[in-house]
Amino acid sequence: MSLLIREMQAGDVPSVYKLQEMLAFQKWSEAQILAEVSLPCAVTKVAYDGGLLVGYAIFHVIADEAELLSIAVDPTRQREGIAKAIYAETLSELKSRKIQSFFLEVRVRNTVAQQFYQSLGFVETYRRKRYYADGEDAVIMKGIL
Ligand SMILES: CC(C)(COP(=O)(O)OP(=O)(O)OC[C@H]1O[C@@H](n2cnc3c(N)ncnc32)[C@H](O)[C@@H]1OP(=O)(O)O)[C@@H](O)C(=O)NCCC(=O)NCCS
């Protein structure tokens, strides 16, 4: 594996959208993803291997707080450390911005994502009842910097 991790550009958006649709974990439109690319508070990453998009992540940084909004890896390439590599690369960038807190929300039924976040040191802090439009609860997790 020869992983290239860089900032997301407008040209990556169709592939990012396709990956999101394939995984069916989130329902952002292509226009919403494109908007993130130029949003001043967004930090966006894509990972390529052999010219193919294998993963992406979207973070927001507001003042000294960071939030992980979305992270996904091609289903045929999971458990290879790709999401961890994207996260590690972004974290070192965020540290240089003097971030004081890092949090995320995840669906209570998405236990794979929760296990992934726990592997990065995130811990559950509380739950928001019926947070998602379909009534599912959200788990709020706080990361370590
Ligand atoms: C969550 C997700 C991004 C993880 O990506 P990944 O590249 O497979 O994760 P990594 O290979 O970097 O895994 C790092 C660690 O996370 C944990 N982990 C990841 N996937 C796991 C799984 N299916 N079961 C248990 N633990 C898991 C493990 O501790 C793993 O380390 P290990 O493989 O050495 O045991 C991926 O499963 C995914 O795309 N899921 C669908 C989209 C989604 O739900 N995103 C999160 C909500 S925004």
Q: Where are the alpha helices (DSSP H) in 1-145?
A: 13-23, 30-38, 82-95, 111-119
Please provide the average confidence, as pLDDT, over all residues in the chain. 96
At residue 98 the predicted structure's pLDDT band, cuts being 50, 70 and 90, is confident
List, for residues 45-79, the tens digit of each pLDDT value.
999 999 999 999 999 999 999 999 999 999 999 99
Residue minimizing CA distance to atom 44 of ligand 1: 113
Sign of CA dihedral 129, 134, 139, 141: negative
For the CA of 86, the closest atom of ligand 1 is 12
Q: How far apart (Å, rounded) are the C-alpha atoms in residues 123 and 81?
A: 20
Q: Which residue in the list 117, 126, 131, 132 is annotated as catalytic?
A: 117
CA-closest candidate to residue 121, choices 93, 101, 145, 86: 145
List, for residues 12-58, the tens digit of each pLDDT value.
999 999 999 999 888 999 999 999 999 999 999 999 999 999 999 99
Phi, psi dihedrals of residue 100, rounded to the nearest 5°: -100, -30
Q: Are 57 and 26 in contact (CB under 8 A)?
A: no
Tell me which residues have their CB closer than 6 angstroms to ligand 1: 23, 25, 70-73, 78-84, 106, 110, 112-113, 115-116, 119
Gyration radius (Cα) of the chain, Å: 15
DSSP state of 115: H
CA-closest candidate to residue 128, choices 141, 118, 144, 115: 141
DSSP state of 122: -
Phi, psi dihedrals of residue 7, rounded to the nearest 5°: -65, 145
Instruction: Inform me whether the pLDDT recorded for 95 exceeds 90.
Output: no
What is the percent of the chain with per-residue pLDDT over 70, rounded to a whole number?
Answer: 100
Supply the pLDDT for residue 31: 98
Residue minimizing CA distance to atom 39 of ligand 1: 72
**CATH number belonging to domain 1-99:** 3.40.630.30
Supply the pLDDT for residue 25: 87
Domain assignments of the chain as residue spans, ordered by start: 1-99, 101-145
